[in-house]
Amino acid sequence: MLRFKNLGSGSTGNASVVEAQCGLQTTRMLVDCGLGLKELERRLIQADLCLADLDALFITHEHIDHVGHTKRVASSLGIPVWMSQGTWLACNGLDWGLSESQINVARDTQPIEIGGLQVTPFTVPHDAREPLQVRFSDGSVSLGILTDLGHASAHVVQQLKGCNALMLETNHDSELLKASGYPQFLKDRISGPFGHLSNDAACELASQLNHVSLNTVLAAHLSERNNSPDIVLSCLSRALGCSEDDLLVAAPDTGSPWLNIQ
Ligand SMILES: [Zn+2]
Ligand SMILES: [Zn+2]
């Protein structure tokens, strides 16, 4: 059995828990660590978990909303941390040094097995040193986690084909971003090919990944200024040909409920 819960999503801090249950063995991986230790603990308790329930940590890239509190969380839990070589180098360069013995290097499409959890990282186009996003499986169903990418490359589409659940970035509405008070360089960065996925681009990707067994779609990493859950639900439901009630949007402060993947 595979289930997941987003604990918080967006530029204020990202973290999700993915859990595989195989017989009596339960394995949990925290994906990204943009929440402080106390806040992470508080949100885990709301999810009926505690810090000691986490078995491993995966960091997708070095941006502060994803890596921010990794050092503190990893050193107090003493659990293995997975990230790309580029993310590791970037973290050290930014003095978010972690103990080298805890670090495991994750590589594009190279599977990692932790307990009953199969983890397949894949490269995404984003303005970080070597960003990875992740596909998870328990051997029967699969979940794709995909945020922080400027466009959906053919590689991304290939890696997420056949997923039963998706957590998918719907970062901004292009018109709201254009009309926003953001400086031009920031608008260009966000909307560029190595920035963040617009609603329209996310919808196009969602329709490419749609299939009869895609049962769960969680929209994530929404800009608080240049997007809204209503806009996202409306365009995603049209793209997927489903009701808005069948979709979920991850909130910055509460994330999502636990989602069982079927
Ligand atoms: Zn981010
Ligand atoms: Zn990022």
- The mean pLDDT values, 10 residues at a time, for the chain of 262 residues are 97 96 94 94 96 96 92 87 93 66 93 97 98 97 98 98 98 98 97 98 98 97 97 98 97 97 92
- SS3 call for 153: coil
- Given this model, what pLDDT does residue 74 score? 87
Cα 79 to ligand 1 centre (Å): 23
Question: How many angstroms is it from 222 CA to the middle of ligand 1?
Answer: 10
Calculate how far, in angstroms, residue 234's C-alpha sits from the geometric centre of ligand 2: 25
Signed CA dihedral, 69, 257, 223, 166: sign only: positive
> Which of the four CATH numbers 3.30.43.10, 3.60.15.10, 3.40.50.2300, 3.40.50.10950 does domain 2-261 have?
3.60.15.10
The pLDDT assigned to 93 comes to 61
- How far, in Å, is the centroid of ligand 1 from the Cα of 136? 19
At 187 the pLDDT is 97
pLDDT of residue 70: 86
Q: What is the dihedral of CA 174, 150, 127, 39, to 10 degrees?
A: 80
Can you give the pTM of this predicted structure? 0.96
DSSP state string for 17-60: EEEEEETTEEEEEEE---S-HHHHHHHHHHTT--GGG--EEE--
Q: Which amino acid does the sequence have at 125?
A: P
Q: How far is the CA of 53 from the centre of ligand 1 (A)?
A: 25
The CA 83 to ligand 2 mean position distance, Å, reads: 14
Cα 177 to ligand 1 centre (Å): 16
Q: How far is the CA of 66 from the centre of ligand 1 (A)?
A: 6
Give residue limits of the domains in the chain.
2-261
Model pLDDT, residue 259: 98
How many angstroms does the Cα of residue 116 sit away from the middle of ligand 2?
Answer: 28
Spell out which residues have Cβ within 5 A of ligand 1, the ion: 65, 148
* DSSP 8-state assignment for residue 94: T
Going from the Cα of 111 to the center of ligand 2, the distance in angstroms, rounded, reads 23
Q: How far is the CA of 146 from the centre of ligand 1 (A)?
A: 10
Q: What is the Å distance from ligand 2's center to 86 Cα?
A: 14
